[in-house]
Structure 1
Amino acid sequence: MAVEIHPTAIVADSAELADGVSIGPFCIVGEAVRIGPGTRLHAHVVVEGRTTLGANNHVHPFAVLGGPPQHTAYKGEDTELVIGDNNLIREHATMNIGTPHGGGVTRVGSNGLYMIESHVGHDCIVGDNVILTKQATLGGHCQIGDYVIVGGLAAVHQFTRVGRHAMIGGLAAVVKDVIPYGSVWGNHAHLEGLNLVGLKRRGFDRETINTLRAAYRLLFADEGTFQERLEDTAQTYADSPQVMEIIDFIRADASRPLCLPEREV
C-alpha cells in the first residue's frame, strides 16, 4: 500500500513511514519519527521528537505527540515516546516524551481510546485497552494498568499507580495508588468499592466477582491493622489470581499511599 502525504503536510526526509500510512492536511512529522503501517494522521497533527507510532492508529486534528516533557529539569536530551497499535487518539490530545532521570521513555499500549484534550505525561507507562476520557490527565511517571478507565476531567498525580481494570470517576483527584479492579472517585479520590460494571462487561464470571467482593470486605474491614488484614486476605484467598493481583500490587511498593474507603464518622 502506498504512503499518502497531503501536499500541505510537512514531513521530514528522515522520518520513517510504513506502507499504508496516511498524512493529512497541515500535519507536521519530525525527523526522528517512525510511523507503522496503516496509521492515519487526519489533519493538523504534530508528531515530533523521537516518537514511534505502531500500526493502524488514528490521530485526530491538533493532537501533539512526542512534545518535550513539561519538566523544568529537561534540557533537550534524546528521550522517546513509544505508542502501540490500534489506538484512537482524538482532538488536542497530548503525549510527551520521557526524561533521562525517569527512564527516558514514555510508553503507551495498544487498543486505547484517548479522548479530546487528554494528556499522558512524561515517563508514564500506560497499558492496553485504556480509556482516558475528555480532559483526563496523567502526571509524569504514572503506571496505568490494562483496561483502566479514567473519567472526564480526572487527574492522576505523578508517580501514582493504577491497577488493571480499575475505574476512576469523573473529576477525581487521584493522589494515592488505586488497587486492581477498584473504583475510586472524589476530591481527593477515595475507594468506593470494586469496578463491578467493568468486571461484568469484560466477562468475569460470578464466582470470581463474588470472591473479589468477599476479599475486598476482609481487606478493608474495621477490625485489626491494615497489615494484619492484608496477610489474612492473602492466606484466605491464596488460590484466587485476581485477589492475589491486588495483594501483590499493594506489596509491590509499600512506600506509596493507597486509596482507601471513606470511614463513616
Structure 2
Amino acid sequence: MTHPYTYIDPNARIAPNVKIDPFTVIHGDVQIGEGTWIGSNVTIMDGTRIGKNCRVFPGAVLGAIPQDLKFSGEKTTAEIGDNTTIREFVTINRGTEDRGRTRVGNNCLIMAYSHIAHDCLIGNNCIMSNSVQVAGHVTMGDWAVVGGVSAVHQFVNIGQHTFIAGGSLVSKDVPPYIKAVRNPLSYGGVNSVGLKRRGFPLQQINGILDVYRTIYNKGFNTTQALEFIEEELPATDERDEIVTFIRESGRGIIKRFIKGATEED
C-alpha cells in the first residue's frame, strides 16, 4: 500500500497494512503501527514512533530535531499514540536529554499548522485547534482543549479537562477542570459543559466548583485558600488533584480576571 513515488528507508519498521501516499519521505529509525494512513508530502524523521490507526495529513513534519541550541544530537523520540489525527502542516519535534521524548497521546486531534516543540507531554483525547503553538517542556493533561491561534509558553502545565479560549497567550499554569479566557488569560469558571459531556455527575462538578470558589472568589491568597480547602471541604480525588497541581506549579496559576489588569500584575 505504498506509492512508488514514496521513499521509505529500508530500516524503517512499518506494519504491513499501513497506507502511504506519494512524495512522502520516511527515515530509518521510524516505527508506524498497523492501520495508519500517511498522506502525501509528509516527512517522518528519525526517532518518530506512530501508533495504530492514526491519520497524518499532507505536509506534516514529525520527529525533526529540537529547535533548541542546547540539543547536541542525543538519541530521542517523538511518540504519537493510537487513533490520533495529525492535520496539514503540523510539526512535532523530538525530545532533548531533558525528557528524552516528545509525546502526544491516544485519540488526539492536532489541527492544521500547529506546532508541538521538544519535550512536550500531551495527554490522551486532547484537541489543539488550528495554529496552536506549544513551546518546549509543556505538559498537558487528558481531555484538554486549546483554541486556535493560541501560544503556550515553555514549561507551562495545563491540567486535564481544561478549555483554553482561542487566541490565548498561556504564560501561567492552567489548573484542571476549568475554562481559561480573556486577556490576560484568566479563570473563567469550571468547564462544566465539557465535564457533563464526559459523564461527570452533577455532585462531582459541584464539588469542583466549591474548590474553585474558595480559590478565586473568597479573597484568600493561594496559601490560605489551599489550607481552607483541605480543612473545610470534603476530600475527593478532584479536590486533591487541584491542590497538588497548584502546590507543584512552577510558574504560578492563572488569576481571576480583574478589569484593567496586565500580564505583569
TM over 0.5: yes
The CA distance in 1 between the partners of 2:227 and 2:16, in whole Å, is 53
Corresponding position of 2:67: 70
Contact 2:246–2:252 (Cα < 8 Å) also in 1: no
Contact 1:115–1:135 (Cα < 8 Å) also in 2: yes
The CA distance in 2 between the partners of 1:54 and 1:80, in whole Å, is 13
- Give the residue type in structure 1 aligned to 2:211: A
Answer yes or no: is 1:190 the counterpart of 2:182. Answer: no
The CA distance in 2 between the partners of 1:223 and 1:93, in whole Å, is 42
Please state how far the C-alpha of 1:263 moved relative to its aligned partner. Answer: 3.0
The CA distance in 2 between the partners of 1:127 and 1:195, in whole Å, is 18
Corresponding position of 2:26: 29
Provide the aligned length of Structure 1 versus Structure 2.
260
The CA distance in 2 between the partners of 1:105 and 1:13, in whole Å, is 24
The CA distance in 2 between the partners of 1:180 and 1:99, in whole Å, is 27
Corresponding position of 1:50: 47
Identify the match of residue 225 of structure 1 among 221, 227, 231: 221
Written as runs of structure 1 = structure 2, the 5 A alignment for 1:114-263 is 114-253=110-249, 255-263=250-258
Answer yes or no: is 1:19 the counterpart of 2:16. Answer: yes
Contact 1:171–1:187 (Cα < 8 Å) also in 2: no
Q: State the Cα deviation string for residues 194-237 of structure 1 (Å, max 9, x = none).
A: 11221111111111111211221112134333201111112333
Q: State the Cα deviation string for residues 121-177 of structure 1 (Å, max 9, x = none).
A: 100001000000000111100000000000000111000000000011000000000
The CA distance in 1 between the partners of 2:219 and 2:74, in whole Å, is 51
Corresponding position of 2:263: none
Identify the match of residue 7 of structure 2 among 5, 10, 22: 10
The CA distance in 1 between the partners of 2:234 and 2:241, in whole Å, is 10
Structure 1 residues without counterparts, runs of 5 or longer: none
- Give the residue type in structure 1 aligned to 2:258: R
- Give the residue type in structure 1 aligned to 2:214: L
- Give the residue type in structure 2 aligned to 1:44: N
Q: Secondary structure at the match of 2:142?
A: coil
Choose 108-117 or 212-221, whichever is displaced more: 212-221
Q: State the Cα deviation string for residues 177-196 of structure 1 (Å, max 9, x = none).
A: 00000111233311111112
> Could you state the TM-score of these two structures normalised by the residue count of structure 1?
0.94
Q: State the Cα deviation string for residues 32-67 of structure 1 (Å, max 9, x = none).
A: 001111111021111002111011100000011001
Identify the match of residue 94 of structure 1 among 91, 95, 103: 91
Q: State the Cα deviation string for residues 244-263 of structure 1 (Å, max 9, x = none).
A: 2111111223x321111123
The CA distance in 2 between the partners of 1:164 and 1:238, in whole Å, is 21
Q: Secondary structure at the match of 1:44?
A: coil
> Could you state the TM-score of these two structures normalised by the residue count of structure 2?
0.94
The CA distance in 1 between the partners of 2:186 and 2:155, in whole Å, is 17
The CA distance in 2 between the partners of 1:53 and 1:176, in whole Å, is 30
Identical amino acids, percent of aligned pairs: 38
